[in-house]
Chain A
Amino acid sequence: MNKLTMALAATTTLLAANSYAVSTLDAVKDRGYVNCVIGNSFPGFYSLNKAGDWQGMDIDICRGVASAVFGDATKVKFLPVQWAQSFTSIKSGKGDILSKGMTWTLSRDAAQGLDFLDTYFYDGQGFMVRKDLGVKSVNELKGATVCVLTGTSSELNIADYSRAHNLDIKTVVFDDSSVRNTAFFNNNCDALTNDKSGLAAQRSAAPNPTDYVILPETISKEALSFAVKQNDSEWANVVKWTFAAMVAAEEFGVNSNNVEKMRTESQSPVIRRLLGTEGDLNKGLGLPQDWAYQVIKNVGNYGEVYERNVGPDSVLGIDREGTLNALWKDGGMMYAKSFR
């Protein structure tokens, strides 16, 4: 028995040593592509088009990392996993980046073996009601029935909010989002609650979208963020700064159309440093000189990624102005640290 335990212990140590010996960046370079963990489908963030290609904001972040490492946005493999597998797939090293619209919370950051790096979309729980109800604020929903998905944080948030504001909201719970939406559109409940990005998508699927309004209040913090395996700062830096380069590029007015011209003509030192024509910022990251240029050329800056996937002209149609997702210059939270 004792021998068996020892053998087992030895094996586990070996396996552990094996999986921690190489840093993720080296492993990715050896492998030739990035493994990106996503979910099955979430319009605007990750979904299939009919040609079978992935598209969405999370997808663009992973493509950005692939561009930074390889100069090629296609060198990424997407692994759609169930919710329960999200954490284990990163811990086991099966995935390099977790980017599946996951909210950054303390328990996930501290207890799941993940390091959350940055937030690419600030979301929050909101409410949608029929326009003819005449409701202008959540606080007018006293005694109302609200459709909600069971087992989600939305269900817990609404209970907290209702108790704190003495609203006596009655919830009608559903197991399946399409059933919940149908119930709401058939007037089985007064309001529908979900993350605001989700509400926008659901409104766009309504028989007549203009009949519904999304109330201004946001009752919870849902910071959709990407994460990597804990204790691998080399890889974490690569992923974190790839996203920072997208945000910085928007701030400096660099986009996928003018990046070529900017690279050769721009005299601004910040832009020259960002695009790798001056200085050696790439050395510390272990990436090629033109990594940020490749990211912007292949994927675009943050503004382009936003507009393409969730902006007013996309199906979600979420305005950016005045929200937390605007650049810090415009009063939002998108703030890239200094490229120096």
Chain B
Amino acid sequence: MDDFNVKNEPALKQFIATPPRLPPKNERGVIGTILHRCFNSIGNSVLTLCVAVVLFYLVKHILDWAVFNAVFVAESRRQCMALSADGACWAGVISWFNGLIYGRFPMDEQWRVNVGVLLGLMWLLPLMSKRIPLRNFILLSWIGLYPFVGGYLFLGGRFGVELGLVHGTMTCFALAFLVMLYMNWVLSALGYKGVNEWFLPLVSRWAERRIHLMSFIVVWVLITFGVSLGLSHVSLEPVAIERWGGLFLTFIIAGFAITMAIPVGVVLALGRRSKLPVIHWISMIVIELVRSVPLITVLFMAVTLLPIFLPADMEFNKLTQVLVAVCLFAGAYMAENIRGGLQAIPKGQYEAATTLGLGYLHTMVLVVLPQALKMMIPNIMTSFISLLKDTTLVSIIGLFDIMLMARNIANDKDWVGLHTEPLVMISVLFFILCYSMSQYSLNLEKRLKVDH
């Protein structure tokens, strides 16, 4: 049978397509195309003209309002109106810009938000390089360790005083990990061994296996010690969680929900497909219950009903309640997406894994889930996008996310009644965010070659 390979049959001719013919002369070029496509009959010509006129007026009005008649520099809305009565008053949005981005975070401390976000992105940056080993490990470390760094920067406080001992220690470990990650990346780019192998020659005689892990831990602890020495001299002004807000808070809620959605979703989806009745029923009840109730009612219940049931001195942070609610929500929706992916995996895959002697865990982690998740990328990304947009609902229960900050502009004494411009600005911002998310998912699909 091997003899029928194309390579071994030089007599078999390769198919070569004839190049397409050029269109007729009067249909070539921009004008030709327009004439041919849009004005090929009287009806079509009229239609084209109508659409063009409508489009022209629409675009003209929007541009007039948003750009040509708009006011960009003014002290108050009254001044905006004096300068140009029928244009947008972007001056208000510009003067509130920091508020929209950072919420009520104290002005002098806003650099910490920038640093925190930058560190988070830096952590993920090595993933762009295809040569770096243990990519999943880096992602896991981000989920497990980055929140401590972020929490430290956003909350502030001194070590051992406002900042708890556990949190402080974990922050040092996390920062040390980041330092190691970058040192390794640079070293590997230069062709050297990573820092985690420093102690390898010393211990190699003593222990044969596990030396990599040992050496890694020793180096990690050493760097952590160095970082903690450095950080113990730093004292950041404490910032209460109530002062978090704006786009920053939107990112925190959406980021948390997005990172937690996949693990929660996988557990719930596998639970629902489980043959063990208790696990099956619990997963099913959680999924169906959470999916059948609007997010807004869950949020309301979390903040209005809990204080009545709980004793007065037991203070639950509003943000924590919201995070739990949103996370459960995202997880339940994700579970159904992933279950769809699981059902699409042919039975042969399970049987093949069993034949190879893989157990349940290995079958799922090594064979089934990678395929199922890959197949579900468009659905998962759709959930993430709708999640990002749903986070604006938290403004209704009084968290100062970007939506509530925008509504507050209209109540500021200088900008009373400025409703439209902030909303337009938020729409544009969300479009940019959501569109880049969807582009990223397309990119991911291409890289993972989903359609075989």
Interface residues of A (CB under 8 A from B): 15, 18-19, 40-44, 47-53, 55, 77, 80-82, 84-85, 88-89, 92-94, 178, 181, 201-202, 204-208, 314-315
How far, in angstroms, from A261 to B315 measured CA to CA in the complex?
43
Interface segment among B95-103, B138-146, B213-221: the answer is: B95-103
How far, in angstroms, from A81 to B242 measured CA to CA in the complex?
13
The interface residues of chain A lying within 8 Å CB-to-CB of B240 are 77
B34 to chain A, nearest CB (A): 40
Query: If A19-B311, A19-B312, A47-B411 touch, does A52 touch B103 (CB 8 Å cutoff)?
Result: yes
The interface residues of chain B lying within 8 Å CB-to-CB of A85 are 303-304, 307
Query: If A50-B95, A50-B96, A88-B307 touch, does A43 touch B398 (CB 8 Å cutoff)?
Result: no
> Any chain A CB within 8 A of the CB of B104?
yes
Contact indicator A181/B398 (Cβ below 8 Å): no
Find the B residue at minimum CB distance from A45. B411
Contact indicator B398/A18 (Cβ below 8 Å): no
Contact indicator A314/B404 (Cβ below 8 Å): no
Question: Which residues of chain B (326-378) have a CB below 8 Å from chain A?
Answer: none
A96 to chain B, nearest CB (A): 11
> Any chain A CB within 8 A of the CB of B107?
yes
How far, in angstroms, from A50 to B92 measured CA to CA in the complex?
10
**A and B contact pairs by CB, cutoff 8 A, 29 listed:** A15-B311, A18-B313, A40-B398, A40-B408, A41-B407, A43-B416, A47-B408, A47-B413, A48-B104, A50-B98, A52-B105, A52-B107, A80-B398, A81-B398, A82-B398, A84-B304, A89-B307, A92-B307, A93-B312, A93-B313, A94-B307, A94-B312, A178-B417, A181-B417, A204-B416, A207-B81, A207-B85, A208-B81, A315-B413
Partner of A77 from the list B242, B245, B398 (CB cut-off 8 Å) is: B242
Known: A49-B412, A55-B413. 13 other contacts (CB 8 A): A40-B404, A43-B411, A43-B413, A43-B416, A44-B413, A47-B408, A48-B99, A52-B105, A80-B398, A85-B303, A88-B304, A205-B77, A205-B416
The interface residues of chain B lying within 8 Å CB-to-CB of A49 are 412-413
For A44, A81, A314, the residue with the greatest tally of chain B CB atoms inside 10 Å of its CB is: A81
The interface residues of chain A lying within 8 Å CB-to-CB of B407 are 40-41
For A84, A178, A201, A315, the residue with the greatest tally of chain B CB atoms inside 10 Å of its CB is: A315
Question: Which residues of chain B (53-110) have a CB below 8 Å from chain A?
Answer: 77-78, 81, 85, 95-96, 98-99, 103-107
A192 to chain B, nearest CB (A): 13
Find the A residue at minimum CB distance from B106. A52
The interface residues of chain B lying within 8 Å CB-to-CB of A19 are 311-313
The interface residues of chain B lying within 8 Å CB-to-CB of A55 are 413
B420 to chain A, nearest CB (A): 9
How far, in angstroms, from A22 to B245 measured CA to CA in the complex?
34
Contact indicator B414/A18 (Cβ below 8 Å): no
> Any chain A CB within 8 A of the CB of B410?
yes
The interface residues of chain A lying within 8 Å CB-to-CB of B404 are 40
The interface residues of chain A lying within 8 Å CB-to-CB of B412 are 43, 47-50
How far, in angstroms, from A43 to B402 measured CA to CA in the complex?
19
B227 to chain A, nearest CB (A): 31
How far, in angstroms, from A93 to B307 measured CA to CA in the complex?
9
6 A-B pairs closest in CB distance: A205-B417, A52-B104, A93-B312, A315-B413, A41-B411, A19-B312
For A41, A48, A53, A314, the residue with the greatest tally of chain B CB atoms inside 10 Å of its CB is: A48
The interface residues of chain B lying within 8 Å CB-to-CB of A41 are 407-408, 411
Find the A residue at minimum CB distance from B409. A50
> Any chain A CB within 8 A of the CB of B243?
yes
Contact indicator B99/A52 (Cβ below 8 Å): yes
Query: If A82-B397, A207-B81 touch, does A201 touch B416 (CB 8 Å cutoff)?
Result: yes
Contact indicator B419/A42 (Cβ below 8 Å): no
Contact indicator B313/A315 (Cβ below 8 Å): no
The interface residues of chain B lying within 8 Å CB-to-CB of A80 are 398
Find the A residue at minimum CB distance from B304. A85
Query: If A52-B245, A207-B85 touch, does A88 touch B411 (CB 8 Å cutoff)?
Result: no
Find the B residue at minimum CB distance from A51. B107
The interface residues of chain A lying within 8 Å CB-to-CB of B396 are 82
> Any chain A CB within 8 A of the CB of B51?
no
The interface residues of chain A lying within 8 Å CB-to-CB of B190 are none
The interface residues of chain A lying within 8 Å CB-to-CB of B408 are 40-41, 47-48
The interface residues of chain A lying within 8 Å CB-to-CB of B405 are 48
How far, in angstroms, from A178 to B98 measured CA to CA in the complex?
24
The interface residues of chain B lying within 8 Å CB-to-CB of A207 are 81, 85
> Any chain A CB within 8 A of the CB of B276?
no
Contact indicator B95/A92 (Cβ below 8 Å): no
How far, in angstroms, from A18 to B310 measured CA to CA in the complex?
12
The interface residues of chain B lying within 8 Å CB-to-CB of A93 are 312-313
> Any chain A CB within 8 A of the CB of B42?
no
The interface residues of chain A lying within 8 Å CB-to-CB of B99 are 48, 50-52
How far, in angstroms, from A40 to B404 measured CA to CA in the complex?
9
B400 to chain A, nearest CB (A): 8
> Any chain A CB within 8 A of the CB of B308?
yes
Find the B residue at minimum CB distance from A315. B413
A266 to chain B, nearest CB (A): 34
A47 to chain B, nearest CB (A): 4
How far, in angstroms, from A93 to B313 measured CA to CA in the complex?
8
How far, in angstroms, from A15 to B313 measured CA to CA in the complex?
10
Partner of B308 from the list A51, A53, A88, A202 (CB cut-off 8 Å) is: A88
How far, in angstroms, from A151 to B85 measured CA to CA in the complex?
33
Question: Which residues of chain B (405-451) have a CB below 8 Å from chain A?
Answer: 405, 407-408, 410-414, 416-417, 419
Find the A residue at minimum CB distance from B423. A178
A253 to chain B, nearest CB (A): 28
How far, in angstroms, from A44 to B413 measured CA to CA in the complex?
8
